[in-house]
Amino acid sequence: MLKNSELHNFLEEKHDQYNRPEFIESDPISIPHQFSKKEDIEIAAFLTATIAWGNRKMIIKNAKQLMELMDRAPFDFIQNFTDDELKPFEKFVHRTFNGTDCIYFLKSLQNIYKNHGGLEGAFSLPKESINIKESIISFHKLFFELEHQDRTRKHLANPEKSSAAKRINMFLRWMVRDDKRGVDFGIWKNISTGKLFCPLDVHSGNVARKLGLLSRNANDWKAVEELTGNLRKFDVADPVKYDFALFGLGVFEKF
């Protein structure tokens, strides 16, 4: 087991190695990087993050297809689509996320932009009291306020049900972190970087356990809190930057 100072240096080195634009092309974050307008970026990012599980090439391929179906203008599409324009999405499939789920997500996004201040507004609580867990829970309730099928609920994580909410935490990392390195976007200013939680999945969890950053066996919300708490000891203002280290070690180095 590495000593604390050695572990800190190791994490810093790996963060520096993988938090670089060269890795964008092979990552789902490449999809929102195709856009420059804030709303286009956040909608593309949210939909891409929603289907970001499984084979990474397939995630990117299917997310590209979603952008094509929206005429490569996500915000304009979300604001103005008609029922007829939703028909092509009926055939969309990414693993268990199907056309029914996809169409509901588009309708809910339209509701959020028309009635709730957009995605950033829907995630934001008063700055002094913001708690990301509570923010994700309240977003989940808001997202499903329209009529929907039960099956669709599983595609948006809810930490209230102990979910690690990996894809939502990843989406929030993309939107909030502003380190000028060209990977994360930093376009949301209402959530401070220090409040973010580390995205946790099988790969990053296994790496974190090998490094002594995580003792809990389950990859659930308690594990997210434990991992992020340990990462805050190394950088209280930006603990989630070490996601790059854990991810890179797991995916590229098979650590």
* Segment 1-54, tens digit of pLDDT: 677 889 999 999 999 999 999 999 999 999 999 999 999 999 999 999 999 998
Residue 254: what pLDDT?
86
Q: What are phi and psi of 97, to 5 degrees?
A: -85, 110
Both tokens of 213, joined, read 């950053």
Q: What is the mean pLDDT of residues 121-144?
A: 84
Which residue type is seen at 233? K
What's the longest Cα–Cα distance across the chain?
60
Both tokens of 50, joined, read 């929603």
Residue 126: what pLDDT?
57
**For 176-200, what is each residue's pLDDT tens digit?**
999 999 999 999 998 999 999 999 9
What is the spatial distance between Cα 23 and Cα 105, in angstroms, rounded to a whole number?
Answer: 28
Cβ(174)–Cβ(45) under 8 Å? Answer: yes
Residue 28 per-residue DSSP state? G
Q: What is the mean pLDDT of residues 97-103?
A: 97
The pLDDT mean for the chain works out to 95
Local confidence band at 127 (pLDDT 50, 70, 90 cut-offs): low
Cα–chain-centroid distance for residue 51? 10
Cβ(227)–Cβ(208) under 8 Å? Answer: yes
Both tokens of 47, joined, read 């939909």
DSSP assignment of 35-54, as one string?
A: --SHHHHHHHHHHHHHT--S
Worst-scoring range by mean pLDDT, 118-132, 137-151, 154-168? 118-132
Local confidence band at 152 (pLDDT 50, 70, 90 cut-offs): very high
What is the spatial distance between Cα 98 and Cα 140, in angstroms, rounded to a whole number?
Answer: 19
Tally Cβ neighbours within 10 Å of residue 22.
Answer: 9
Alpha-carbon radius of gyration of the chain: 18
**For 206-252, what is each residue's pLDDT tens digit?**
999 999 999 999 999 999 999 999 999 999 999 999 999 999 999 99
